């Protein structure tokens, strides 16, 4: 917090406290109609409110934070009692001066009763200061807990995202290496596509959210890059329904499902294909990926794969209660269906 804001905050807090005490002092004057009673209240009330306010702030600023919250119960009770006795002695001294020095010609109660009389306002000041301080302490602890949870969430998401990038780059570089070994004319095009993908990963992916159109372009570049290394017999479809414009999504959220399909759904020995569909409604995104399972290789379980585990975790963190993910393996096809509630 800046110094100016800190000073303004303290000034506002002090002003509120002064107004509250001023209001408490004025309330009895509003309802006391008898002039004599009002005069008596003015004589005794102002100083009594001052010493009760002093007892309140003794508890609020010193005793509760330094002793009670630190579990020094004995010292807390000891200073409470000493504070109450001090208030009672001040009250006795004031009444003694009033009755004797100003020659008030009327009997007065024994002075020790003033000490007993101060118990009730002292308990009231204690209860109010205790409730306010404990409530403020609890709210501050909850705020700190929330901030820690948010920091933990941000750190965890950053860690998950950092795991996705190396895993993805490892596969793409293998593809380019394969093209280079074949001395394919598509090598240069592959490098350009990789540069476009890297630009997205190094710039836009640092943001909490990106435009859905950028994520779609990223997916399309990835698919085009993968097509360079596979046979024309492999059927690759990427269909988009609806407009991604003005929609926002977390970056690198959809790619693990596509990457998983290319890694486990492409075969050079048998017919294979991948279908990727993206349907965009007003506040919903429906994403589906389907690929055939290679018969000579075991099907990939839901929990396997670094990228897939990461994206499942990210969905749980980013869209709690706002997404639905189903993964089916029927022995022939591997089908992923994802529904996300998105915002503009």
Query: Is the dihedral angle over the CA atoms 247, 250, 252, 257 positive or is it negative?
Result: negative
Residue 258 is given by DSSP the state H
Count Cβ atoms below 10 Å from residue 153 Cβ, excluding itself: 12
Which of helix, strand or coil describes residue 325?
Answer: strand
Q: For residue 204, give Cα distances in angstroms to 13, 161, 192.
A: 42, 12, 18
For the chain, list the domains and their CATH numbers.
3-146 (no CATH), 152-341 (3.30.565.10)
Q: Do residues 41 and 32 touch, judged by C-beta distance below 8 A?
A: yes
Spatial neighbors of 319 by CB under 8 A, at least 6 apart, are 340, 341
Which of helix, strand or coil describes residue 246?
Answer: coil
Q: Count Cβ atoms within 10 A of the Cβ of residue 337 and give its class: 0-12 exposed, 13-18 middle, 19 or more buried.
A: middle
Count Cβ atoms below 10 Å from residue 234 Cβ, excluding itself: 18
What is the pLDDT at residue 77?
85
d(CA 67, CA 60): 11
Query: Is the dihedral angle over the CA atoms 22, 28, 31, 33 positive or is it negative?
Result: negative
Reference 323, options 284, 282, 290, 289; nearest CA is 284
Tokens describing residue 297:
């290789």
d(CA 159, CA 307): 12
What is the pLDDT at residue 108?
57
Where do runs of H (alpha helix) occur along the chain? 3-31, 35-57, 73-101, 112-117, 119-181, 187-202, 212-227, 255-265, 306-318
Q: Count Cβ atoms within 10 A of the Cβ of residue 311 and give its class: 0-12 exposed, 13-18 middle, 19 or more buried.
A: buried
Q: Which phi-psi region, left, alpha or beta, contains residue 321 (left: φ > 0; alpha: ψ -120 to 50)?
A: left
Helix axes 212-227, 255-265, angle to 10 degrees: 20
Count Cβ atoms below 10 Å from residue 236 Cβ, excluding itself: 19
235-241 vs 273-280, strand pairing mode: parallel
Q: Do residues 179 and 187 touch, judged by C-beta distance below 8 A?
A: yes
- Express each pLDDT in 307-320 by its tens digit: 677 788 888 888 88
d(CA 290, CA 329): 10
Per-residue pLDDT of the chain (344 residues; tens, 9 = 90+): 444 444 455 666 677 777 777 776 666 666 667 777 667 666 666 667 777 788 888 888 888 888 887 888 888 888 888 887 887 777 777 666 666 665 555 555 565 565 666 676 777 777 877 887 888 778 877 876 776 566 566 655 665 565 555 655 776 788 788 778 877 777 888 888 888 888 887 777 777 788 999 999 989 988 888 787 777 778 899 999 998 888 898 888 888 898 888 888 887 777 788 999 999 988 899 999 999 887 654 444 444 455 677 788 888 888 888 899 999 988 788 999 999 988 76
């Amino acid at each position: 917090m800046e110094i100016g804001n800190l000073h303004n905050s303290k000034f506002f807090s002090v002003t509120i406290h002064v107004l509250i005490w001023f209001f408490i002092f004025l309330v009895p004057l509003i309802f006391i109609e008898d002039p004599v009673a009002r005069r008596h209240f003015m004589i005794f009330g102002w100083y009594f409110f001052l010493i009760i306010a002093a007892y309140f702030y003794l508890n609020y600023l010193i005793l509760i934070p330094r002793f009670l919250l630190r579990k020094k119960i004995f010292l807390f009770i000891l200073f409470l009692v000493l504070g109450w006795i001090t208030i009672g002695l001040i009250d006795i001294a004031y009444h003694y001066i009033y009755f004797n020095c100003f020659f008030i010609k009327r009997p007065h109660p024994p002075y020790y009763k003033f000490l007993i009389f101060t118990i009730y306002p002292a308990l009231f000041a204690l209860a109010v200061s205790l409730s306010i301080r404990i409530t403020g302490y609890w709210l501050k602890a909850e705020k700190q807990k929330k901030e820690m949870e948010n920091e933990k969430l941000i750190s965890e998401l950053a860690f998950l995202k950092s795991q996705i990038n190396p895993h993805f780059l490892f596969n793409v570089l293998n593809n380019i290496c394969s093209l280079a070994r074949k001395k394919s004319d598509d090598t240069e095009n592959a490098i350009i596509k990789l540069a476009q993908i890297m630009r997205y990963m190094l710039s836009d992916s640092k943001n909490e959210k990106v435009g859905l159109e950028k994520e779609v372009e990223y997916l399309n570049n990835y698919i085009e890059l993968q097509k360079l290394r596979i046979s024309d017999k492999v059927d690759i479809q990427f269909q988009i329904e609806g407009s991604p414009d003005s929609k926002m999504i977390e970056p690198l959220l959809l790619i693990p499902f596509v990457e998983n399909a290319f890694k486990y759904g492409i075969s050079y020995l048998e017919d294979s294909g991948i279908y990727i569909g993206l349907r965009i409604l007003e506040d919903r995104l429906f994403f589906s990926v389907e690929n055939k399972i290679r018969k000579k290789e075991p099907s990939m379980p839901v929990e396997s794969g670094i990228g897939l585990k990461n994206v499942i975790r990210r969905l749980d963190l980013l869209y709690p209660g706002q997404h639905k993910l189903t993964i089916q393996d029927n022995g022939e096809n591997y089908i992923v269906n994802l529904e996300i509630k998105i915002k503009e």
